[in-house]
């Protein structure tokens, strides 16, 4: 198994969104990335980052930065694959900065929590920016909805971590060799937030979010797994970026 982190560029948010109600008024640039996993059962992509044109048009205050080399098609090609090679795409949730490249993977079936799909199509007014990019819901898009903890392939376990959104998933990767990995996605944005138990400023259900922080810690402890954070620039700078990879 090989795990590639696909660099999708970066955006800027207020620190009070990075950690709920802490350090408001301080802008912070955060990374956006997806995963490509080479598996015996095929190629799996988890999340696809943001779309530059959409973000510039709808959320220009987030100052998106994305080069042509940081688009999902270019990142896949850097790993030796074409978008059409991807047959399974998993979305941890359907916020704009996790679905921007979905439309490029139109040969893939999208795996997503059943409640998340419904909420993204009929979201609350306060969620409108989060779910603003609807390009993932194109004509002919194929969805496989799931609920509960689900192993999408051997060693790839999606476990429910609602709070940030109603149908949020995190991912436990247990390779045959090497150290397990937990991708928290948006349960918490940074290592500091996890340590202090502080969820992001944007959330659907803060009580569920607190429970999900504890669940990420529990799963990681049970499997002696390293935790990877979606929006921690310091952590991101220490990760291997595609075409480099983690292997197990």
Tell me which residues are annotated as active site. 97
What's the angle, vertex CA 79, arms to CA 59 and CA 55, rounded to 5? 5
- Structural contact between residues 18 and 203, judged by C-beta atoms closer than 8 angstroms: no
What one-character-per-residue DSSP string does 107-143 give? TSEEEEEHHHHHHHHS--GGGTTTT---GGG-TT-EE
Burial class, 21, CB count within 10 angstroms (exposed 0-12 / middle 13-18 / buried 19+)? exposed
- Structural contact between residues 166 and 115, judged by C-beta atoms closer than 8 angstroms: yes
Residue 18: asked if its preceding bond is cis (omega within 30°), the reply is no
- Structural contact between residues 31 and 65, judged by C-beta atoms closer than 8 angstroms: no
């Amino acid at each position: 198994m090989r795990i590639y982190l696909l660099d999708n560029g970066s955006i800027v948010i207020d620190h009070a969104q990075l950690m709920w109600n802490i350090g408001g008024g301080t802008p912070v640039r955060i990374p956006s990335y997806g995963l490509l996993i080479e598996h015996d059962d095929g190629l799996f992509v988890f999340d696809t980052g943001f779309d530059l044109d959409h973000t510039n048009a709808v959320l220009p205050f987030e100052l998106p930065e994305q080069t042509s080399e940081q688009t999902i098609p270019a990142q896949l090609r850097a790993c030796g694959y074409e978008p059409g090679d991807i047959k399974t795409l998993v979305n941890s949730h359907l916020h704009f900065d996790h679905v921007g490249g979905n439309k490029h993977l139109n040969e893939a079936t999208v795996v997503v929590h059943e409640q998340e799909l419904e909420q993204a199509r009929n979201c609350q007014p306060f969620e409108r920016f989060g779910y603003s990019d609807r390009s993932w819901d194109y004509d002919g898009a194929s969805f496989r909805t799931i609920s509960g903890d689900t192993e999408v392939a051997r060693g790839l376990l999606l476990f429910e971590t609602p709070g940030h959104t109603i149908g949020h998933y995190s991912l436990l990767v247990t390779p045959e060799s090497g150290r397990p990995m937990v991708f928290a996605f948006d349960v918490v944005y940074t290592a500091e937030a996890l340590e202090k138990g502080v969820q992001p400023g944007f959330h659907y259900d803060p009580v569920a979010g607190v429970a999900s922080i504890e669940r990420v810690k529990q799963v990681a402890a049970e499997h002696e797994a390293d935790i990877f954070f979606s929006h921690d620039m310091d952590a991101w700078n220490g990760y291997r970026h595609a075409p480099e990879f983690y292997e197990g």
